[in-house]
């Protein structure tokens, strides 16, 4: 008869729990993403305010027209991406509830905008 040691049970239990919670926390990404676009010029977002539908995945394409790199970042959207001068980048955002979500350039923190989800 095979008897598991206490540590084997402990480790096995923790991984089963982690796997269950990880699976529960992983979203299905089959839904079509709503596309948004924004540019950065003179250390300002243009437009400074974006609108998007609620409960739908989003893809936001950022074009950096400045001569220095920028990092598009948002605490509440939980995304960040470094974009070189003259380059573009896209971030993918989970479906959101209605409300306002701040974003900013982490390399020039006065550069700020807002995503309004309705």
Partner 1 sequence: MSLQTIDTAMRSLTIGLVTAAVAAVAMATGSVAARAQDAGEFHELETKYIFGNFTVGSSIDEEGEKAFEPETEADFGKRGGKYGVSETELEFEYTPTQFMQVAFGPTVSYYNIHGVPGLDDLNAVAVNGFEAEFRPIIVDRGPSMPFAITASIEPEYHSRDETSGAQVANFGVENKLEADTELIKNRLFLAFNALYEPETTRDLGMWTKESTWGVSSALAYQIIPKVVVGADLWYLQHYDGLAFNNFTGDAVYLGPTFYWQIAPKILMSAAWQTQIAGREAGIVPANLDLADFSRQRARLLFEFEF
Interacting residues toward partner 1 by CB under 8 A = 5-7, 10-11, 13-15, 17-18, 21-22, 24-27, 73-81, 93-94, 96-102, 104, 106-107, 109, 112, 117
Shortest spacing between CB 53 and partner 1, in angstroms:
14
Closer Cβ to partner 1, 18 or 37, answer by number: 18
Which residues are CB-neighbours of 115 under 8 A, at least 6 positions away? 36, 49, 50, 51, 52, 60, 74, 77, 96, 100, 101, 102, 103
Which residue's CB is nearer to partner 1, number 5 or number 32? 5
Q: What pairs with residue 116 in β-bridges? A: 51, 100
Closest CB to partner 1 among residues 46, 109: 109
Q: How far apart are CA 25 and CA 8, in angstroms?
A: 26
């Amino acid at each position: 008869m095979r008897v598991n040691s206490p540590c084997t049970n402990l480790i096995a239990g923790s991984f089963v729990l982690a796997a269950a919670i990880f699976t529960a926390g992983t979203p299905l990404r089959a839904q079509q993403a709503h596309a948004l676009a924004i540019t950065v010029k003179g250390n300002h977002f243009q437009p400074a305010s974006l609108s998007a539908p609620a409960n739908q995945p989003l893809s936001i394409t950022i074009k950096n027209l400045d001569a220095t790199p920028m990092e598009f970042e948002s605490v509440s959207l939980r995304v960040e991406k470094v974009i070189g001068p003259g380059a573009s980048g896209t971030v993918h955002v989970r479906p959101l509830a209605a409300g306002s979500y701040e974003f900013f350039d982490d390399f020039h923190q006065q550069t700020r905008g807002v995503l309004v989800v309705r």
